[in-house]
Chains A and B, each alone.
Chain A
Amino acid sequence: MKLTGAQILMKVLKEEGVDTIFGYPGGAVIDLYDELVKTDIRHILVRHEQGAVHAADAYSRASGKVGTCLVTSGPGATNTVTGIASAYMDSIPIVVITGQVPSHLIGNDAFQEVDIVGITRPCTKHNYLVQSADELARVVREAFYIARSGRPGPVLVDIPKDVMNNLATYKVPKNIRLRSYNPTYNPNMKQLHKVIEMVKMARRPMIFAGGGVILSGAHRELTAFARKARIPVTTSLMGLGAFPASDPLWLGMIGMHGTYRSNMSTAACDLMIGIGVRFDDRVTGKTDTFAAQAKIIHIDIDPTSIRKNVPVSIPVVGDCKTTLTHLNELLADADLGNLDEKRSGWLHQIEGWKNKARLAYDQNGAIKPQFVLEKLYELTRGKAIITTEVGQNQMWTAQYYHIEEPGQFITSGGLGVMGFGLPAAIGAQVAKPDDLVVCVAGDGSIQMNIQEMATAMQYNLPVKIVILNNGYLGMVRQWQELFYEKRYACTQMDHAPDFVKLAEAFGARGFRATKPAEVAQVISEGLSAEGPVIMEFVVEKEECVYPMVPAGAPITEMLLV
């Protein structure tokens, strides 16, 4: 039996287990939408295509599935680019389906035509322009396979209008095999024996884990490994949740706004085990001073991240979970001697650093943003799924909301996109309807995709938005304060909407705290109110995020307060 391209697409999506699509219709995809509503796939109509991609991104992170978007050609497609680039930098598996003008018009500057495959080539893991209805099923299957396998990432499928309407026989290969694409999951065992030897020899080892641990679902394996080998653990921003923040071996986050103990450990360690990280410049600072005394072991599924930024003694190409599973087996058989004794000096030194410079602030006068986050942590008992916008709000959240589990902290790490937090909260809430989802935002960022409040209302997604209103583009203002002699060039945002009234205008509840004494009250009320909620906290205007490593400096040179 022959089916139309649109019917074929829906069939493949169902087979791929898609139950939710974030999207926005238009002329080029009207046929796809016409078929979509005949299925039981849930469609979330966002208010801006960028929101659709961020939501799909967060949906993927919260559910572990591939996130899916559907948008129209031209402007619909270009609006997805920021979201795609963010998912690419953070290695999040999503499939973005874009409509395209009919094949015979491609290249003619037709109405709403854009070369989206060309535009997104550098920021997708792979992309396709579908040539005919006959290949549609295979291409879409491949897209999902590529998105979720190996180092995950976004894949875009551009479908011309005629392909959606043409008839073809539904024929799809059971197993996708691409001769030019074979990710390495199994690490080289010889290398792993060397890793164990180095773990045994090391006096001052540390683990530096990243988003790759979360993506491969290696949280438990990592925790077991660190505990058994008695190695303290730090993570990148993307790695928060890869290791429980309540564990005594937890060092806190590393990098530009990392903890003192974590950054100091990098200078003193003699072995650093990087797992699912890419040694980003926001982490390493000046690279030739980073972990300068240490041998570096680097475990990653993507060979290109190994030796890209730092020299590596033992490269291990493989999936984090598979690799850590093997390492745990080898560790169980290894004679580790008295590890507690061996590590005690090192762990003691770290404890000293912890006591010397804890994360701290003074809550007096105006509301300190850190205080809001501490209260939020307390009142949610650390159980919420947290999404963030970008800037100081993001960093304070990373520092003060202690993350226990993977999928619990959702942020645009690599690209750092303002406007991510609210649509991400929507995506996470769709994936986890019974969980408490909180978006922590700055007054600047929240205005970038505030229109998604309407989406939250339409689908009754009870996301709770915490706005830390400092009247500035705070993080940029902080740089201006510290490195530009307080010349606050264009970072004052004097005119924000009345966020409480804005919430009400969307039909949601709004709360505001202007004094420290009101903070706990507002959070409690906001969290227990039904439906979407905005909680605005008018905070100390010129508060800075500390510690801070100036860009390009060694990460041990921290400004502490």
Chain B
Amino acid sequence: MTEEKHVLSILVENQPGVLSRISGLFSGRGFNIESLCVAATIDPNVSRLTIVTKANQPIVEQIKKQLNKLINVIKVHELTGSKYVHREMALIKVHAKKDNRAEILRIVDIFRCKVVDVGPEHYTVEVTGDEGKMEAILSLLKPLGIKEIAKTGTIALFREPK
């Protein structure tokens, strides 16, 4: 059976140990985690986790059921296949020498991202977007010399019906 990417949005009680219960569930049962993002929601007692996993259909069913079985898990949604917005964010520190500073700013402009830190030798660029956009900007910046990069995983939400 083919493995596909699945985006799971999980509401959990914001309590100590919950994240390790969830990550432990994945490692203990041999499920895969491509990325995981977590933070409190507007209700400080509830956190939202977004997990991207690669699995075939029966395994994804198991993952969802096993997550639901955890006492602190309030709700598990699979976003894949429905309409949803999803974003990643990256901070990219690029070498910025005299001869390529203008080039970098042009790219930043085209991709509608922001320079959040500047130095004599570098720019730090903040990008948000989907995976495609991330890949695209990285492929353009790479030849100019990337010093460091920090990236979040995917966060996602349903689109409301219009």
Contact = CB atoms under 8 A, between A and B. Distances in A.
Contacts of A179: 74
A304 B66 contact: yes
Nearest to A142: B71
A178 B71 contact: yes
15 contacts: A117-B17, A118-B17, A118-B20, A121-B17, A121-B24, A122-B28, A178-B71, A179-B74, A180-B12, A180-B71, A180-B74, A181-B71, A302-B69, A304-B62, A304-B69
A333 B88 CA distance: 58
B61 A180 contact: no
Interface in A186-237: none
A538 interface: no
A140 interface: no
Contacts of B74: 179-180
Contact of B72 (A117, A180, A304): A180
A126 B73 CA distance: 12
B114 interface: no
Given A117-B17, A121-B21, A122-B24, A303 B71 contact: no
B34 to A, nearest CB: 22
B71 A304 contact: no
Given A122-B25, A303-B65, A307-B61, 15 more contacts: A117-B17, A118-B17, A118-B20, A121-B20, A121-B24, A122-B28, A126-B71, A129-B17, A178-B71, A179-B74, A302-B69, A303-B69, A304-B69, A307-B62, A308-B62
B126 interface: no
A129 B20 contact: no
B17 A304 contact: no
A240 interface: no
B65 A304 contact: yes
A308 B16 CA distance: 29
Interface string B48-73: 00000000001001100110110111
A299 to B, nearest CB: 16
A322 to B, nearest CB: 19
Question: What secondary structure prevails in chain B residues at the interface with A?
Answer: helix
Contacts of A181: 71
3 A-B pairs closest in CB distance: A126-B71, A180-B74, A304-B65
B78 interface: no
Interface string A352-363: 000000000000
Given A303-B65, A304-B62, A146 B71 contact: yes
B80 to A, nearest CB: 19
Interface residues of A, number: 17
B62 A129 contact: no
Interface size range on B against A: 20 to 34
Contacts of A125: 71
Interface string B14-30: 00110011001100100
B106 to A, nearest CB: 50
B124 to A, nearest CB: 35
Contacts, number: 36
B50 to A, nearest CB: 18
Interface string A286-324: 000000000000000011100110000000000000000
A181 B74 CA distance: 8
A180 B13 contact: yes
A178 B73 CA distance: 10
A179 B69 CA distance: 13
A180 B73 contact: yes
Contact of B58 (A178, A302, A307): A307
A308 B68 CA distance: 15
Interface string B104-137: 0000000000000000000000000000000000
Contacts of A178: 71
B5 to A, nearest CB: 21
Interface in B64-96: 65-66, 68-69, 71-74
B119 to A, nearest CB: 38
Interface in A167-184: 178-181
B59 to A, nearest CB: 10
Nearest to A126: B71
Contacts of B68: 303
Contacts of B17: 117-118, 121, 129
Contacts of A122: 24-25, 28
Nearest to A181: B71
Contacts of B20: 118, 121
A304 to B, nearest CB: 4
A146 to B, nearest CB: 6
Contacts of A308: 62
A117 B62 CA distance: 25
A160 to B, nearest CB: 13
B12 to A, nearest CB: 8
A403 B24 CA distance: 38
A181 B62 CA distance: 18
A180 B18 CA distance: 13
Interface string A76-106: 0000000000000000000000000000000
Contact of B16 (A129, A302, A303, A304): A129
Q: Which residue, A125, A181, A307, has most C-beta atoms of chain B within 10 A?
A: A181
Contacts of A146: 71
A146 B74 CA distance: 15
B74 to A, nearest CB: 4
